[in-house]
Structure 1
């Protein structure tokens, strides 16, 4: 499988790359980012770094012919490009919308059109969040404008996939993602989860679940936090056996 990881320099994407380099079923990993991406640290024994190719873009709404060549014959993409809720407050909202929504659709179209006449489905997994709201008639209690925009993006991704007979799409909606070095996030995640406000999930489980779904097909849509945790835990536990 040839996998594109968009937003490849990010926290979750780095773990996706780390795990994918150890998966025999994945023969090519395209790390799409605005700066060169190299193999992460702490690779598992037997990881094959030769599978990793770095594709650099100026922004996620411009794709040169050189970058498009990386998309040829791609089988899947995990799209993790976004401005997170906490960081979004530092930007004008139209900038946030451009990064989270406009660039997602432009990037998805570029991949679909550049992959060529493949005989296998192209699976596009859009990484959103548990609070994103697709129903535009609702008013979420926390950051309503942001939540509705992310939910609208989910709908647009699914609608675009339906325009092509060989494209499948789903949305991953994790809660707070914890992991090594994310001490404050871990504390916050514990408190919010205990209070029943926001669930949490480990970065390793998140990555394992998303990789499983783009490789084997989407079990459901959307993939909520509990779904990702269940799938990811099963994959990681099986790897330890």
Structure 2
């Protein structure tokens, strides 16, 4: 499998890269970011860092021919490009929408077009879009907090899934909706996750990464993976690796 990871410099994407370099079925990893990406330093002995190919993109809404050529023959994409709710508060909403919504749809279109021109039509493109548990797809259900942001993220989810329906048979799409994402060593975030557990779900970065990789490799269980799904699939995938 040739896998594109968009937003490759991010927190979750870094863990996705670390894991997929140890998965034999993944033969090529296209790490897309605004700066060069190197293999994580904490790779296991079985990892193959030579599979990683860094692709520097100036802007996620414009894809030069050279970048599109890198996308050729790609089987799947995990899209992690976004602005988090906390960071969005310090930015103009138009910029937040551009990054979270416009970039996603432009990237999906470019990857789909490259997939179609590659001559590899035996299997559909699998597109995994990482959103958030609070994103609201129904515009009539207005969230009490950060409604503009959460409705925009839900609109993006709808359009990603709608793109797959429009190109039935050529694209398969899945939306992962994690809650708070934690990691070993991040004491403050772990404490926050514990305190907010009755109200906000959480998932470990290793679990969500393993879950998304499992799904793009083996096929999507369903079009929307809630936090509990990600924990379940991720834990099982990590357990299978240890065995």
TM-score bracket for this pair, using the shorter chain length: over 0.9
CA distance in 1, matches of 2:176, 2:80: 10
Q: Which residue of 2 aligns with 1:19?
A: 19
Q: Which residue of 1 aligns with 2:228?
A: 226
Q: 1:143 aligns with which of 129, 134, 146?
A: 146
Residue 181 of structure 1, CA deviation: 4.0
CA distance in 2, matches of 1:182, 1:153: 30
> More deviation in 114-123 or 212-221?
114-123
Residue correspondence of structure 1 range 79-94 to structure 2 within 5 A: 79-94=79-94
CA distance in 2, matches of 1:238, 1:175: 24
CA distance in 2, matches of 1:141, 1:189: 21
CA distance in 2, matches of 1:71, 1:16: 18
SS in 1 for 2:196: helix
Give the gaps of 5 or more residues in structure 2: none
Residue 139 of structure 1, CA deviation: 1.0
Post-superposition Cα deviations, 1:101-139, rounded to whole Å, max 9, x if no partner, equal 011000000000012232211000000000000001111
Q: Which residue of 2 aligns with 1:8?
A: 8
Q: Which residue of 1 aligns with 2:241?
A: 239
Residue 93 of structure 1, CA deviation: 0.3
Residue 163 of structure 1, CA deviation: 2.2
Q: 1:163 aligns with which of 157, 166, 179?
A: 166
> More deviation in 39-48 or 111-120?
111-120
Residue correspondence of structure 1 range 43-62 to structure 2 within 5 A: 43-62=43-62
Give the gaps of 5 or more residues in structure 1: none
SS in 2 for 1:59: coil
Q: Which residue of 2 aligns with 1:129?
A: 132
Q: Which residue of 1 aligns with 2:203?
A: 201
Post-superposition Cα deviations, 1:157-182, rounded to whole Å, max 9, x if no partner, equal 01112222310001000000000343
Q: 2:189 aligns with which of 185, 188, 192?
A: 185
Aligned length: 239
CA distance in 1, matches of 2:60, 2:4: 13
Residue 75 of structure 1, CA deviation: 0.3
Post-superposition Cα deviations, 1:179-236, rounded to whole Å, max 9, x if no partner, equal 034322211111111xx11010100000000000001111012100000000000111
CA distance in 1, matches of 2:178, 2:147: 18
CA distance in 2, matches of 1:197, 1:142: 14
SS in 1 for 2:31: strand
1:77 aligns with 2:80: no
